[in-house]
Amino acid sequence: MKSHLYPALLFFLCLNISCNGKSTSQPQDEETIAQESSNILIVYLSRTNNTEAVAEMIQDFVGGEMVELQLKDPYPENYQEIVDQVDRENKSGYLPPLATEIENIDQYDTIFIGFPTWDMQLPPPMESFLHQYDLSGKTVIPFNTNGGYGIGSSFEDVQQIANESRILEGFSVEGGSERDGVLLAIKDERAREVWEEVKDWLQKIGVSENP
C-alpha cells in the first residue's frame, strides 16, 4: 500500500486556507474522521503514474488506504507489445491473474477504483479485480486518466460488472500518451490544475475532505 504527499500541492492548499482564513471542509472530531478514513479504499492501476498521481490526490483529500494492482505476470515494457496483448485479452475475455491480494476488503464501505483507458475499454487487470472481489452494497467511485481519447466504455464496464454496488459519478482527466512518448504528464502546474478538478469533483459527489 502506498501513501505519498505532494509537498508543492500541500503548500498550495495550505496557502489557500491561510488566505481565506478557513478550510473548505466541515468541522469534525478526530475520532469521526479516523473512522471514516478507515472505511475508504483506493485501488488503482497505473502504467505511466498519471492514475497514481490522481489516486494520491484523492487520498490527500479523503484519507483511506491505497492499493496498486499488480499482475502475477507483468505486462511487457514495450508499448506496442502491451497494446497487442491487451487487444487479445479483450477479444478473448481473458482476466489476468492478480498478484495483489486484499484480505480485508470487507472493512471498506467506499472504494475508489482508478485506471487508464486501454483499447477504449476498462483495462483487463481492473476487470480481474472487479470479478475477484464482491463489492455488493459498497459505494464504488471510478476515476480515469487517458491520452485524450476519453473513457471509452470503461465507466459503463464498471457499472455492468459491479451492478450490485452503488456507483457514483466518475472522474476523468487527460494524462500522458505513452504512444507519443509522453509519460507522466500530471505534474508541476498541470498537477495543481488537476488537484482543483479533483477537489471540485469530490465536493460534487458529496465525499468529504480531510481537514
pLDDT tens for each residue of 107-140: 999 999 999 999 999 999 999 999 999 999 999 9
Calculate what percentage of the chain has a pLDDT beyond 90.
77
Q: What does the pLDDT look like over 176-202, one tens digit per residue? A: 999 898 899 999 999 999 999 999 999
Residue 25 has pLDDT above 80, yes or no: no
For residue 69, being part of any structural domain is answered with yes
Max distance between CA atoms of the chain, in angstroms, equals: 56
For residue 7, being part of any structural domain is answered with no
- What is the domain range of residue 136? 32-204
Q: Tell which residue, 211, 177, 173, 209, has the closest CA to residue 194.
A: 173
Q: What is the mean pLDDT of residues 7-13?
A: 40
Query: Which pLDDT score is estimated for 30?
Result: 34
- How many domains does the chain fold into? 1
CATH label of the domain that carries residue 197:
3.40.50.360
Which triple of cell numbers denotes residue 169?
459519478
User: ∠ CA 56-37-50 to the nearest 5 degrees?
Assistant: 15
